[in-house]
Structure 1
Amino acid sequence: MEFENELADAELDAVENLLFLWWGIAALGHDPQVIADLRAADAGTLETRPADPVGDEAEGWSGRVAEF
């Protein structure tokens, strides 16, 4: 019902983002690990890692994905 209400109220240019959001909720919202991660994030206890290597690990790091 929430989805239908949001869809009815959405501007045409926002529909794609709304569908993507609700797809994520439907696809991932029943995964126990996703729910545990969301709860940990909310509690501030979710284990995170930096996106870029730090210190000696950063040598040679360009930040770019290798092209194939």
Structure 2
Amino acid sequence: MLTIYIKDNCPQCHATMRWLRERDIPFDSINISDPSNAKQLAWLRARGIKQTPYVVAAGESWSGFRPDKLSKLLE
């Protein structure tokens, strides 16, 4: 399963989700701008992650809109 940590008003987050939807790739998104997701935000901060989207998929993770990495999910 693919999980994306996103923030409100994040163009790269929207681009990543649009790319996945256009290819019918299922994903879960966690909006770290939502106060109810404070634990997930703390988890990201503890790992030094400062950029969204933060994508976790197939044992790999990265920040930002990365079509090159996303394309590897289709292989």
TM-score normalised per structure 1 = 0.31
Q: From the CA coordinates, give the structure whose radius of gyration is larger.
A: 1
If each structure's strand is expressed as a fraction of its own residues, which one has the higher value? Answer: 2
